Chain A
Amino acid sequence: EAQVTQNPRYLITVTGKKLTVTCSQNMNHEYMSWYRQDPGLGLRQIYYSMNVEVTDKGDVPEGYKVSRKEKRNFPLILESPSPNQTSLYFCASRSHGTTLGNTIYFGEGSWLTVV
Chain B
Amino acid sequence: AQKVTQAQTEISVVEKEDVTLDCVYETRDTTYYLFWYKQPPSGELVFLIRRNSFDEQNEISGRYSWNFQKSTSSFNFTITASQVVDSAVYFCALSEAQRGRSSNTGKLIFGQGTTLQVKP
Q: A33-B107, A99-B33, A101-B95 are in contact. List 13 more A-B contacts (CB 8 A).
A: A35-B108, A41-B112, A43-B93, A44-B110, A48-B105, A50-B106, A59-B107, A90-B45, A100-B96, A100-B98, A104-B108, A106-B45, A108-B43
Chain B contacts to A: CB under 8 angstroms: 4, 6, 9, 32-33, 35, 43-45, 47, 50, 52, 91, 93, 95-98, 101, 104-108, 110-113
A71 at the interface (CB under 8 A from B): no
Residues of A within 8 A of B97 (CB): 100
**Chain A residues with CB under 8 A of B111:** 42
Say what secondary structure dominates the interface of chain B: loop
Indicate if A74 sits at the interface (CB-CB under 8 A). Answer: no
Known: A43-B91, A101-B52, A109-B43. A58 touches B105 (CB 8 A): yes
Chain A, interface residues (CB within 8 Å), range: 20 to 34
Q: Is the CB of A45 within 8 A of B47?
A: no
A residues in contact (CB < 8 Å) with B: 31, 33, 35, 40-45, 48, 50, 56, 58-59, 88, 90, 92, 94, 96, 98-101, 103-104, 106, 108-109, 111
Closest CB of chain A to B34's CB: distance in Å?
A: 10
Contact across chains for B108 and A45 when beta carbons are under 8 A apart: yes
